[in-house]
A and B are shown apart, each in its own frame.
Chain A
Amino acid sequence: MSFWAASPMPDQTPPHNILKPEQIDRVADALLALTREVWVLRDRQIVLEQVLADRGIEVTAGIDQLQPSPELQTKLDRERDRLIARITEALQGPE
Chain B
Amino acid sequence: MTAADAALDIALAQRGRALIDFEVGVRQAASRLAAKAEAVLATRGVRADTLPEAMDDRHALIDRTLDDVAAHRTRWLLNDWSWREHGRVAEEAFDEVRAEAAPKLDALSQGGTTLTQAEDFVAPRYWSEVWFHRTKGGWDASDYNGYVHGELVHKRYVAKIFPGDIYRARREVLDLLPARDFARILELGTSSGHFTAALDERFPEAEIVGVDLSRRMLEQAQRVGNARGRSWQLHVAAGEATGFADASFDLVTSYAIHHELPPRIIKAWFEEAFRLLKPGGSLLMADVPRYADLDRMAAWRFDWAAKWGGEPFWRSSAMLDLGEGARAAGFAEVKTQAGNPYVVLGRKPDA
Give me the interface of A with B, judged by CB distance under 8 Å: 1-5, 8-14, 16, 18-20, 23, 26, 63-68, 76-77, 80-81, 83-85, 88, 91-93
B83: nearest chain-A partner, CB-CB: A13
Contact A13 B134 (CB under 8 A): yes
Instruction: Tell me which residues from 35 to 79 in chain B have a Cβ below 8 Å from any Cβ of chain A.
Output: 55-56, 70-71, 73-74, 76-78
Contact A77 B25 (CB under 8 A): yes
Instruction: Tell me which residues from 280 to 338 in chain B have a Cβ below 8 Å from any Cβ of chain A.
Output: 307-308, 310, 312-313, 315-316
Least Cβ–Cβ distance between A14 and chain B, in angstroms: 8
Give me the interface of B with A, judged by CB distance under 8 Å: 11, 13-15, 17-18, 21-22, 25-26, 28-29, 33, 55-56, 70-71, 73-74, 76-78, 80, 125-126, 129-131, 134, 138, 262, 307-308, 310, 312-313, 315-316
**A residues within 8 A CB of B76?**
18
Query: Contacting B14 at CB < 8 Å: which of A63, A77, A81, A92?
Result: A63
Q: Is the interface of B mostly helix, strand, loop or mixed?
A: helix
Contact A65 B25 (CB under 8 A): no
Query: Contacting A8 at CB < 8 Å: which of B13, B22, B29, B130?
Result: B130
**A residues within 8 A CB of B316?**
1, 3, 5
**B residues within 8 A CB of A19?**
73, 77
Contact A18 B80 (CB under 8 A): yes
Query: How many Å lie between the Cα of A42 and that of B245 in the bound state?
Result: 62
Query: How many Å lie between the Cα of A93 and that of B71 in the bound state?
Result: 9
Contact B71 A92 (CB under 8 A): yes
Contact A11 B310 (CB under 8 A): yes
Contact B310 A91 (CB under 8 A): no
Query: How many Å lie between the Cα of A20 and that of B13 in the bound state?
Result: 38
Contact A81 B29 (CB under 8 A): yes
Least Cβ–Cβ distance between B313 and chain A, in angstroms: 6
**A residues within 8 A CB of B55?**
3
Give 6 CB contacts A-B under 8 Å. A5-B313, A11-B310, A12-B310, A80-B22, A84-B29, A91-B70
Given contacts A67-B11, A80-B22, A85-B29, contact A93 B129 (CB under 8 A): no
Contact A18 B73 (CB under 8 A): yes
Query: Contacting A91 at CB < 8 Å: which of B74, B80, B315?
Result: B74
Query: How many Å lie between the Cα of A68 and that of B14 in the bound state?
Result: 9
Contact A10 B131 (CB under 8 A): yes
**A residues within 8 A CB of B129?**
8-10
